[in-house]
């Protein structure tokens, strides 16, 4: 085992602080990655502060699942990577590999409950009680869960693609966002800004819903055809019964009826935001009088994540980022809570 520097949450109520964790030795199919950049997802904050009752946090906790780095060591059976290659890790580092979902390349939905998330998931290797994420100098991951980073992508701006990118790419593809479709993206944060860029790149008529008047111009610059202030009831009403798909990235509980009301017949509202408290129960009549659906979507499979990275490289898409030093993480969390992020913090790990 190797002792590695990390940024650690030691309890729900204390600031994150520098610390050390153990990483396993490289096994035959493992890749050791020197981490260069790690994006800061709102899920990191939810986990560091133990906000998800369904998924309690085990401390010490090391968040981070938007990881880009360089291959530092490979196991004897590794074929996909060699020393010095750029490499990335997203939200998962393992799954059962045998169930129908895993066989379909949807390890994120492992039917055996075997998806091993990059942090705060039981560590099958027994290195520690739970997995530790990318707010650290180094990580060891089975090559099946390591992604190739296309040379065209800037490594820091590519990091947020590993969660924010795939979390929007997957539902936009699954519900067929494209020409002739009207697609709404709710919330212009890390996930939302990738949603606007990707929906626009897929050729859909893209509408951003934001609570922040200050983000209207940015929404258009990022690719939205229209921007609607979601607290303006009259502006919302103008879009009634017109959307094929709305993807909701908001990180806090809110009224869903204002959104289902905007779906056309057979339209779908996809929830990807994972707030601490439940949304108020949606109005059933809003759904049944237009055969509307409310669905959920969680990240994406490994093959799909690679496809997304290759798509972004081809289209010149990456995240709009603000680089921070490791000791800036607590201030970054506070700004995230105020919606004051343009549009993803990325930690430069060389300074750790």
The footprint of ligand NAP (CB under 6 A) covers: 41-43, 46, 163-164, 167, 187-192, 210-212, 215, 249-252, 272-275, 297-299, 336, 339, 341
Whose Cβ is closer to ligand NAP: residue 85's or residue 226's?
226
Instruction: Please classify residue 277 by burial: count the beta carbons closer than 10 Å to its beta carbon, then call 0-12 exposed, 13-18 middle and 19+ buried.
Output: exposed
Alpha carbon of 204 to those of 165, 178, 215, 226, 232: distances in Å?
Answer: 17, 4, 20, 12, 24
- Determine the Cα–Cα distance for residues 138 and 25; give it in Å rounded to an integer: 11
Q: Tell the smallest beta-carbon distance from residue 82 to ligand NAP (Å).
A: 31
Segment contacting Zn ion (CB under 5 A): 8-16, 114-122, 243-251, 320-328? 114-122
Verify binding: residue 102, Zn ion, rule CB under 5 A.
yes
Whether the bond between 60 and the residue before it is cis, its omega within 30 degrees of 0, is: yes
102 binds, among ligand NAP, Zn ion, none (CB under 5 to 8 A by kind): Zn ion
Alpha carbon of 192 to those of 25, 129, 303, 343: distances in Å?
Answer: 37, 33, 22, 9
Q: Tell the smallest beta-carbon distance from residue 346 to ligand NAP (Å).
A: 12
CB closest to Zn ion, residue no: 41
Rule CB under 5 A: choose which of 74, 110, 157, 269 binds Zn ion: 110
251 binds, among Zn ion, ligand NAP, none (CB under 5 to 8 A by kind): ligand NAP
275 binds, among ligand NAP, Zn ion, none (CB under 5 to 8 A by kind): ligand NAP
What does the chain come to in residues?
Answer: 352
- Determine the Cα–Cα distance for residues 191 and 186; give it in Å rounded to an integer: 9
User: Beta-carbon neighbour count of residue 135 at 10 Å?
Assistant: 31
Q: Which residues bind Zn ion (CB under 5 A)?
A: 41, 43, 95-96, 99, 102, 110, 112, 114, 163
């Amino acid at each position: 085992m190797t002792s590695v520097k990390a940024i650690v949450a030691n309890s729900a109520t204390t600031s994150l602080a520098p610390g050390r964790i153990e990483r396993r030795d490289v096994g035959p199919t493992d890749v050791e990655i020197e981490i260069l950049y790690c994006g800061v997802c709102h899920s990191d904050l939810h986990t560091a502060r133990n906000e998800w009752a369904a998924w309690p946090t085990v401390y010490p906790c090391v968040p981070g699942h938007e990881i880009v780095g360089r291959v530092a060591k490979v196991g004897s059976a590794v074929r996909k990577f060699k020393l010095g290659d750029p490499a990335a890790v997203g939200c998962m580092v393992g799954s059962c590999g045998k169930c129908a979902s895993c066989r379909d390349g949807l390890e994120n939905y492992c039917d055996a409950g075997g998806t091993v998330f990059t942090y705060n998931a039981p560590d099958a290797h027994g290195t520690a009680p739970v997995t530790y994420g990318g707010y650290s100098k180094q990580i060891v991951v089975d090559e099946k869960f390591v992604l190739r980073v296309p040379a065209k992508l800037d490594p820091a701006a590519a990091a947020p693609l590993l969660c924010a990118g795939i979390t929007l790419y997957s539902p936009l593809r699954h519900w067929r966002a494209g020409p002739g479709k009207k697609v709404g993206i709710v919330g212009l944060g890390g996930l939302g800004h990738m949603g606007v860029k990707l929906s626009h790149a897929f050729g859909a008529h893209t509408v951003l819903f934001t609570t922040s008047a200050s983000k209207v111009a940015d929404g258009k610059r990022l690719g939205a055809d229209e921007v609607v202030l979601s607290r303006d009831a009259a502006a919302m009403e103008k879009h009634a019964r017109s959307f094929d798909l709305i993807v909701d990235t908001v990180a806090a509980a809110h009224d869903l009826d204002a959104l289902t009301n905007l779906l056309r017949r057979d339209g779908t509202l996809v929830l990807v935001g994972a707030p601490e408290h439940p949304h108020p129960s949606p109005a059933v009549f809003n759904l049944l009088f237009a055969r509307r659906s409310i669905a959920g979507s969680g990240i994406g499979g490994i093959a799909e994540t690679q496809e997304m990275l290759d798509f972004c490289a081809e289209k010149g898409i990456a995240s709009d980022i603000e680089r921070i030093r490791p000791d800036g993480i607590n201030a970054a969390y506070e700004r995230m809570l105020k919606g004051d992020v343009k549009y993803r913090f990325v930690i430069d790990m060389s300074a750790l």
